[in-house]
C-alpha cells in the first residue's frame, strides 16, 4: 500500500486513525478469505453427502409422490387426465 499511497500503514510508529482503519480492512479481508475457504469445505462435504445418497433420495422422492397420489385419488385422476390430454398415444 505504501507504493500507492506513499504512506506506511504497518509498523510500530504507525498509530494514526488512517493506519488503524487500513489494518481493520486487511483483517476483514483475511477473515472473509478464511470464510470463503470454509464455505468451500462445507459445500464439498454436503455435495459428497448428496452424491453418496443420490439414488436413495430419488427413489424415496418417487415413492413419496406415489403414496401421496394413491392416498388422494382425486388428484391422481386429475393428473392422469392432464397427462392424457397432453401426451399423444400411439397404438
Q: What is the mean pLDDT of residues 24-52?
A: 81
Tell me what the pLDDT averaged over the chain comes to: 79
Confidence of residue 74 (pLDDT cuts 50, 70, 90): very high
**pLDDT for res 34:** 79
Confidence of residue 69 (pLDDT cuts 50, 70, 90): very high
Q: What is the mean pLDDT of residues 19-44?
A: 82
pLDDT for residue 67 is more than 80: yes
Cβ pair 13, 6 in contact under 8 A: no
Cβ pair 15, 2 in contact under 8 A: no
Amino acid at each position: 500500500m505504501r507504493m500507492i499511497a506513499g504512506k506506511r500503514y504497518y509498523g510500530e510508529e504507525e498509530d494514526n486513525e488512517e493506519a488503524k482503519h487500513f489494518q481493520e480492512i486487511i483483517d476483514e479481508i483475511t477473515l472473509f478469505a478464511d470464510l470463503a475457504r470454509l464455505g468451500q469445505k462445507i459445500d464439498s462435504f454436503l455435495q459428497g453427502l448428496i452424491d453418496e445418497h443420490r439414488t436413495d433420495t430419488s427413489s424415496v422422492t418417487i415413492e413419496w409422490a406415489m403414496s401421496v397420489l394413491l392416498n388422494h385419488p382425486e388428484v391422481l385422476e386429475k393428473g392422469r387426465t392432464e397427462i392424457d390430454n397432453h401426451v399423444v398415444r400411439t397404438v
